Amino acid sequence: MNKVFANAEKAIFDIKDSQTIMLGGFGLCGIPENSIAALVKKNVKNLTCISNNAGIDDFGIGLMLKNRQVKKMIASYVGENQEFERQLLAGELQVELLPQGTLAERCRATGAGIPAFYTPAGYGTEVAEGKETRAFNGKMYLLEHAFESDFALIKAWKGDTYGNVMYKDTAKNFNPMMAMAGKITIVEVEELVETGELNPNEIHTPGIFVDRIFQGRDYQKRIEQRTTKK
């Protein structure tokens, strides 16, 4: 089966209103820039987005927020975004905040066939409200569940036509777990190569998890906090 698509618009052709989408990235690092741009153009609405952050006002998921496409955001940190704040305070946007490690592990569980797991993070806090708790060896834990995600939109560094991919540096972040977790996983890569060109020892996400792959273009790779040594 051919997994290679010509571009983002073609790869996301069947994303529909009211679906749940995972988006890789930490801040603006390792976000699926091309797929986000295509989603904005396609103008699908009422999306539930699962991503560590919600972008900034004029980039990343912030572009989808500005276009009023997001109904609910599931994230661990949503600062640095005024439009997000405005929609939240106006009651136009729902938000579910989760501890970052819980968010990561819930994505991992989704892709690993694990329906739920116990974690200590959030015990005794408002994150625990309504969640089952249990003691193991005298310490308290919360039951956290896997997600249901229609699509996962992933950004990788290099990939091949089988969908095997590698990530670069800290642009890895949430991408490998989310790549395993989408009912349909769509990966954009900076460099798409022929099958056999990547070293099997260096594959981070094996192609079995990847349904669609395309060569991305015009990456901006914006930096939120450019900090340099004097």
Residues engaged in binding another protein (CB under 8 A): 26-30, 52, 75-79, 85, 88-89, 95, 97, 99-105, 107-108, 119-127, 157, 167-177, 204, 221-229
Closest CB to another protein among residues 195, 220: 220
CB of 174 to another protein, least distance (A): 5
Partners of residue 159 on adjacent β-strands: 165, 192
The 10 Å Cβ neighbour count of residue 139 is 10
* Cβ–Cβ under 8 Å, residues 155 and 31: yes
Instruction: Indicate the residue among 125 and 195 with the shorter CB distance to another protein.
Output: 125
Alpha carbon 46 to chain centroid, angstroms: 17
Least Å distance between CB 194 and another protein? Answer: 24
Which conformational region is residue 221 in: left (phi greater than 0), alpha (psi within -120 to 50 degrees), or beta? left
* Nearest-approach distance from CB 7 to another protein, in angstroms: 22
Measured from the CB atom, the residue of 66 and 204 that comes closer to another protein is 204
Task: Give the nearer residue to another protein in terms of CB position, either 15 or 198.
Answer: 198
**Do 15 and 151 contact (CB within 8 A), yes or no?**
yes
Q: Which two tokens stand for residue 159?
A: 């990939």
The least distance separating another protein from the CB of residue 33, rounded to whole angstroms, comes to 11
